[in-house]
């Protein structure tokens, strides 16, 4: 499924995941409020809430009532492991097959120009 065809809440979830992995939201950092993130992304707040709820269900964020949502300890490592496994399972076989079809070697993509 192309990125553009994915449901909006999953695209938002992917963006938040990337931000956690990139250190934009390090462990212990507060995530933007649902309303603030929705406004920033031009999304419906209910859609953002659905994305945030998945992180909460997975234990990747903690909620402090009346204050906000925070990146849980260990969230980046858990996300990295999960995303790595998904890449190797779902994306890499397609990339490897395409590389083979085109005669591209690992060396071709790792050599400096």
Q: Which domains does the chain have, with CATH numbers?
A: 3-110 (1.10.10.10)
Tokens of 103: 């005669």
Q: What DSSP designation does 43 have?
A: -
Nearest to 20 by CA among 57, 52, 67: 52
pLDDT at 76: 95
Q: Are 30 and 73 spatial neighbours (Cβ–Cβ below 8 Å)?
A: no
Which of these, 80, 77, 68, 73, lies nearest to 31 by C-alpha position?
A: 68
Residue 98 backbone dihedrals phi, psi, to 5 degrees: -65, -40
pLDDT digits (tens, 9 = 90+) for 7-33: 888 899 999 999 999 999 999 999 999
Render pLDDT for 50-83 as a digit per residue (tens, 0 to 9). Answer: 999 999 999 999 999 989 999 999 999 999 999 9
What DSSP character marks residue 60?
S
State pTM to two decimals. Answer: 0.80
Confidence check: pLDDT of 111 > 90: no
């Amino acid at each position: 499924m192309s990125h553009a065809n994915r449901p909006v809440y999953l695209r938002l979830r992917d963006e938040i995941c990337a931000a956690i992995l990139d250190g934009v939201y390090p462990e212990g950092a507060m995530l933007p409020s649902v309303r603030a993130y929705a406004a920033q992304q031009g999304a419906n707040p209910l859609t953002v809430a659905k994305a945030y709820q998945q992180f909460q269900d997975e234990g990747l964020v903690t909620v402090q009532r009346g204050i906000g949502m925070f990146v849980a300890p260990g969230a980046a490592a858990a996300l990295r492991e999960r995303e790595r496994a998904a890449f190797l399972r779902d994306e890499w076989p397609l990339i490897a097959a395409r590389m083979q079809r085109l005669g591209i070697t690992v060396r071709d993509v790792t050599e400096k120009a």
